[in-house]
Structure 1
Amino acid sequence: MSDTRRTLFPIAHPRQFKFYKKALASFWTTEEVDLTEDRAHFQGLTEEERGFVRMVLGFFASADS
């Protein structure tokens, strides 16, 4: 690979780019999920449901670190 290339297009290595796109697709991005109504939805849950959501989020937060 050349260190002087400063552009993505045209794709210089289509096979590697295909693997990159496949790897990228295995993660969700913030653009894919509409989070604008989350607070209102959370407030609409019962206290028991909120506790469950907090427990699940806490588990994933600790598992990620």
Structure 2
Amino acid sequence: MTAEHDNPKVLDAAMWIAERHNNEGGRIVPAVRSRFSLTAVEACQACALADRFRQAGRTANA
């Protein structure tokens, strides 16, 4: 099994979440699944990775 940061779709989704996490009204997993064609597990991995990005102060622009 690959780490979530090894999957480019998960990484893209994580960056998107980290930058726009408040814009989905609490329905981020369905939004990410649809937008990035992810499985539920991958969407959750993206959410966890986005949280780590936010804690580190890292986004796509950083």
Please, what TM-score do these two structures have when normalized by structure 2? Answer: 0.34
Question: TM-score scaled by structure 1?
Answer: 0.33
